[in-house]
Structure 1
Amino acid sequence: MPTRVHEFAWPDRVVIGTVGLPGARTFYLQVRTGKQIVSIALEKQQSAELAGKIDEILDQLIALEGNPFSIPTGTPIELVDNDPLEAVEEQFRTGAMTLGWDPTTAQVIIEAYPLSDVDADDDDDPVDGNDAEVAEMLLVRMPVGTARAFAKRTREVVGAGRPACPLCGSPVDPDGHVCTLPEV
């Protein structure tokens, strides 16, 4: 089965956003170019890691002598996007992701693949090579300023969840919290 690639070479918008209340939020990576829009679900931790790794790549590129790719140290104000997600129609739930850099276009590249449907109980069944193929994937190429703005917004969205208990660090629910302090 051929892989369906949702490709965005120079997206108009690429953001992480959520649907739901803190403690029960679903995170989405949403990309739009013109009328083409794709939303993929991912975990909070995946979102946080993605933002951190994008900043890490950009910071390493800044350290190159002369900053040959004109990487911004902060988020360009004109690229700040605090708008909510557009209509969300989940394309797939993200499993594996890769992150890369294309020096020919000075773009950060994100590849996202669906969560595998392989069930551990099916170990007795022979695996057909065609079934192991990924049915679809998301490919996003972001210019450096957009990537910096994406990482900043993602950190803010991840941090906007339930507050942490100052004593134990666990999330505090709106209904209360039972603190589980470590024994001394």
Structure 2
Amino acid sequence: MTDAPAHVHEFDWPDRVVIGTVGPPGARTFYLQARAGAQIVSVALEKEQSALLAQKIDEILDQLRTVEGNRFSVPTSTPVELVDNDPLEAVQEQFRTGTIGIGWDPTTAQVIIEAHPLPADDDAPEEDSLDGIAEAESEMLRVKMPVGTARAFTQRTREIVDAGRPLCTLCGYPIDPDGHTCTLPEI
């Protein structure tokens, strides 16, 4: 059983929700950032978490389109008016994300993202403690976004993830800005 977080950063109808990066390719830090009015929350993610988040949201939206009698108008692509190519706003990292939950709220026709922080080393459950399974979290981020915004979010996220270092055509590994030593597999 997990204790409820002490503080939930909640964005029910955010003005903006995006994935963005800080730093040069090869040393980028990925952030999930949500803003409503003057409230801005940024949580750090791994590149792989960002890519998987976009993939899973697209899967939810695509699945909703196939539901017979679906009363929600789920776009197949990003509505032009929702494209957001602006950089992140002032980034102050709230926490580094450990687990991410994704859901659907049919009452508001919104995709829900819940980001939970990585547990601190001293919060890690002890192996021989039965009570150690319950892990207290100090905070979490919950963002709800309508389907059009969710499509725009996934498109931007894919573009951000793909904008990293180019891949070597021989070995498939990223090429560092200061050079690349290619190790071809033996034949």
TM-score w.r.t. the length of structure 1 is 0.92
Quote the residue 1:20 is aligned against. 23
- Measure the CA separation in 2 of the matches of 1:55 and 1:126: 39
State yes or no: 1:169 paired with 2:178: no
Letter in 1 for 2:72: F
Q: C-alpha root-mean-square deviation of aligned residues, in Å?
A: 2.1
Q: CA deviation at 1:118?
A: 3.0
Question: Shift of residue 68 of structure 1?
Answer: 2.2
Unaligned runs of 5+ in 1: none
| Residue 120 to residue 6, structure 1, CA distance change in 2 (3 Å) | closer
Secondary structure, aligned partner of 1:45: helix
- Distance in 1 (CA, whole Å) between partners of 2:92 and 2:124 is 30
Aligned residue-pair number = 183
Gaps in structure 2 of 5+ consecutive residues: none
> Is the contact between residue 124 and residue 135 of structure 2 (CA under 8 Å) also seen in structure 1?
no
Q: Distance in 2 between matches of 1:84 and 1:158?
A: 14
Residues 1:30 and 2:33 are matched in the alignment: yes
For residue 154 of structure 1, report the CA deviation from its aligned partner.
0.2
| In 2: Cα distance, 1:23 partner to 1:168 partner | 17
TM-score, normalised via structure 2 length? 0.91
The whole-number CA distance in structure 1 between the counterparts of 2:29 and 2:22 is: 5
Matches within 5 A, 1:46-125: 46-119=49-122, 123=126
How has the CA–CA distance of structure 1 residues 121 and 3 changed in structure 2, closer, same or farther, with 3 Å as cutoff? Answer: closer
CA distance in structure 1 between the aligned counterparts of 2:80 and 2:40, rounded to whole angstroms? 24
1:160 to 152, 163, 173: 163
**Match 2:146 to one of 143, 147, 162:** 143
